[in-house]
Amino acid sequence: MAAEAPPPSTERRELPTPEEFTEVQESAEFGELRRSYRSFAFPLTIAFIIWYLLYVLLSNYAGGFMGAKLVGNINVALVFGVLQFVTTFLIAWWYSRHAAAKLDPKAEAIKKRMEGGA
């Protein structure tokens, strides 16, 4: 026999009003959350795009350099290609740590305030 689902709660929580959302968006607390995110994400995004474009440009215009053998059949292009994946995973891991330490606590505080502790 399947267990019966509990009856739906008759309590209804009011959603925040557009004015409350605007008030939070304009608050110093939300501004600090946005600054913390942007100061981390934007520089890393720009750095990674430059790194990626360097790889693409070298692949297109520096074939001799990219084709240089390092060890056996492993050439510079292969190493750079693998490093693209490594840096992608490192950035994701680093962002995860940054978000857990700096962004999530601030976002949770804002969320609790907006939801009224519900």
Q: What is the mean pLDDT of residues 35-53?
A: 96
pLDDT for residue 2: 57
Amino acid residing at 93: W
Q: 18 in a domain, yes or no?
A: no
pLDDT for residue 18: 86
Please write the tens of the pLDDT for every residue from 9-41: 555 567 888 888 899 899 999 999 999 999 999
Q: 2 in a domain, yes or no?
A: no
Q: Which domain holds residue 60?
A: 29-115
Q: 71 in a domain, yes or no?
A: yes
Q: 44 in a domain, yes or no?
A: yes
Please write the tens of the pLDDT for every residue from 68-117: 999 999 999 999 999 999 999 999 999 999 999 999 999 999 999 888 75
Q: 21 in a domain, yes or no?
A: no
Residue positions counted in the chain = 118
Tokens of 16: 């925040």
C-alpha triplet 85, 86, 89: angle, nearest 5°: 85
> 3-class DSSP state for residue 71?
strand
Tell me how many helices (H) and strands (E) the chain has: 5, 2
pLDDT band at 4 (very low <50, low <70, confident <90, very high): low
Q: 7 in a domain, yes or no?
A: no
Q: 16 in a domain, yes or no?
A: no
Total domain count, the chain: 1
Q: 54 in a domain, yes or no?
A: yes
pLDDT band at 8 (very low <50, low <70, confident <90, very high): low
| Measured distance CA(64)–CA(47) in Å, rounded | 25
